[in-house]
């Protein structure tokens, strides 16, 4: 009987251990599923913000003006008039918003990673050239408008400002949301203010290729629109701000796009939009909300690795000549190509891959 009792104890202990192990496995499975859903929600909210938040908030504000709650809308509009020039003066960033947990889920969906190659002096100002644009510049947003990848820890004392279309800051609510992340208008007034009246340690991130580059982004293609983009170099010279090449491996992989050939009606329409409105409408798709095998607005969960290169020391020249602009532009292009070639094999590209500069 004593032997049977001992055997029973061992049997019970084994069963308990198995049950505990099964419960732990179930817990981690459920946790993994919850985290995946939170990642999808975090990315979806950003995609909807990018595509419709500005128009939606404008329409809602107009609707409220026609209701009994019109006072709320009127007060906001009065504040908007008073606050109109704030985006041009460095904006109104919020460390609380930049540190939201939702951005960490956003980061982990792809995942997105920021790679530092050199230290940046807090006594200097910088202009980062971000390449490529992709469809939505997801890597640029996550790395420089949030703290999800630790930009403040990797570059202590440096304040990043991601520059985007000035038209976004004419949209109610959206403008405040963007400013809270340290996003500013990509116009001369805003950049001049940050680089001349905001002290040192500022880094303005400009997606140099802009809308024109977004028209050519497609998985498997590494090309940048840069040959005739020299305005950012001229700005750097006028302010003595060092230029920093940045390449984001994987930015073109997260969406599939219909590419219209030069001379086609589709490309003609895209260029007209780009010229008169500032952005080019792209026909693209990602994955569906509930399945990666269906089409939808969610980007594909492909890794995005953003590499920040070595700063190029730029002298301060109040009125740089075209020859001086061309000289430093050529140095920048060479530095970007070297950065791409140095890291391409580390992030999944073959050694034979060449960066196409248009």
Q: What digits encode the pLDDT tens for the residues 207-221?
A: 999 888 888 888 999
Each residue of 138-158: pLDDT tens digit? 999 999 999 999 999 999 999
In a domain? residue 131 = yes
Model pLDDT, residue 274? 73
Model pLDDT, residue 24? 64
Number of domains in the chain: 1
Tokens, residue 249:
């491996």
pLDDT more than 70, % of the chain: 91
In a domain? residue 17 = no
Q: How far apart are CA 314 and CA 233, in angstroms?
A: 9
In a domain? residue 20 = no
> Per-residue pLDDT averaged across 155-177, rounded?
94
In a domain? residue 203 = yes
Domain holding 133, by residue range, is: 44-357
Model pLDDT, residue 245? 98
In a domain? residue 11 = no
| Contact by Cβ (8 Å): 90, 181 | no
In a domain? residue 25 = no
Mention every residue, 6+ apart, whose C-beta is less than 8 A from residue 224. 131, 132, 208, 209, 213, 336, 355, 356, 357, 358
Q: How far apart are CA 136 and CA 166, in angstroms?
A: 16
Q: Is the pLDDT at 113 greater than 80, yes or no? A: yes
Q: Is the pLDDT at 13 greater than 60, yes or no? A: no
> Per-residue pLDDT averaged across 48-56, rounded?
91
**Residues composing the chain:** 358
> Per-residue pLDDT averaged across 232-257, rounded?
96
In a domain? residue 342 = yes
| Contact by Cβ (8 Å): 183, 97 | no
In a domain? residue 9 = no
pLDDT more than 90, % of the chain: 75
Q: How far apart are CA 215 and CA 211, in angstroms?
A: 7
What angle separates helix 231-239 from helix 322-343, to the nearest 10 degrees?
Answer: 110
| Contact by Cβ (8 Å): 197, 88 | no
Cα dist. 108→39, 42, 62, 136, 306 in Å? Answer: 7, 10, 37, 17, 14
What is the H or E stretch that residue 29 is in?
Answer: helix 2-48
Model pLDDT, residue 11? 44
Model pLDDT, residue 211? 80
Cα dist. 82→59, 75, 77, 190 in Å? Answer: 21, 11, 9, 17
Q: Is the pLDDT at 345 greater than 90, yes or no? A: yes
| Contact by Cβ (8 Å): 218, 196 | no
Please give the residue that has the higher pLDDT: either 2 or 33.
33
Q: Is the pLDDT at 1 greater than 70, yes or no? A: no
Q: Is the pLDDT at 98 greater than 50, yes or no? A: yes
Exposure on the CB side of residue 159, measured as CA atoms within 13 A: 19
Each residue of 258-312: pLDDT tens digit? 887 777 877 788 777 777 666 677 888 899 988 888 899 999 999 999 999 999 9
Taking alpha carbons only, the member of 238, 222, 220 closest to residue 230 is: 238
């Amino acid at each position: 009987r004593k032997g049977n009792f001992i055997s029973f104890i061992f049997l019970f202990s084994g069963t308990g251990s198995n049950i505990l192990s099964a419960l732990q496995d179930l817990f981690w499975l459920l946790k993994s599923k919850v985290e995946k859903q939170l990642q999808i929600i975090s990315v979806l909210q950003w995609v909807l913000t990018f595509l419709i938040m500005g128009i939606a908030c404008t329409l809602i504000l107009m609707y409220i003006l026609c209701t009994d709650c019109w006072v709320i809308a009127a007060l906001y509009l009065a504040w908007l008039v008073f606050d109109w020039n704030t985006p041009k003066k460095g904006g109104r960033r919020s460390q609380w918003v930049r540190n939201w947990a939702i951005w960490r889920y956003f980061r982990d969906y792809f995942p997105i990673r920021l790679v530092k190659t050199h230290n940046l002096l807090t006594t200097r100002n910088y202009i980062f050239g971000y390449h490529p644009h992709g469809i939505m510049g997801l890597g640029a947003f996550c790395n420089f408008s949030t703290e999800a990848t630790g930009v403040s820890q990797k570059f202590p004392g440096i304040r990043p400002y991601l520059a985007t279309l000035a038209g976004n800051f004419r949209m109610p609510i959206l403008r405040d949301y963007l400013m809270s992340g340290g996003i500013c208008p990509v116009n001369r007034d805003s950049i001049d203010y940050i680089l001349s009246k905001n002290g040192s340690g500022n880094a303005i991130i400009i997606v140099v290729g802009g809308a024109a580059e977004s028209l050519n982004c497609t998985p498997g293609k590494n090309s940048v629109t840069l040959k005739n983009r020299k305005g950012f170099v001229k700005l750097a010279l006028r302010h003595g701000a060092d230029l920093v090449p940045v390449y984001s491996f994987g930015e073109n992989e997260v969406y599939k796009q219909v590419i219209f050939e030069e001379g086609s009606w589709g490309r003609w329409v895209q260029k007209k939009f780009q010229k008169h409105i500032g952005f080019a409408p792209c026909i693209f798709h990602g994955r569906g909300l509930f399945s990666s095998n269906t089409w939808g607005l969610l980007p594909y969960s492909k890794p995005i690795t953003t590499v920040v290169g070595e700063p190029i020391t730029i002298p301060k020249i109040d009125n740089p000549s075209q020859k001086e602009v061309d000289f430093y532009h050529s140095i920048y292009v060479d530095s970007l190509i070297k950065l791409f070639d140095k890291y391409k094999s580390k992030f999944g590209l073959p050694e034979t891959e060449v960066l196409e500069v248009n």
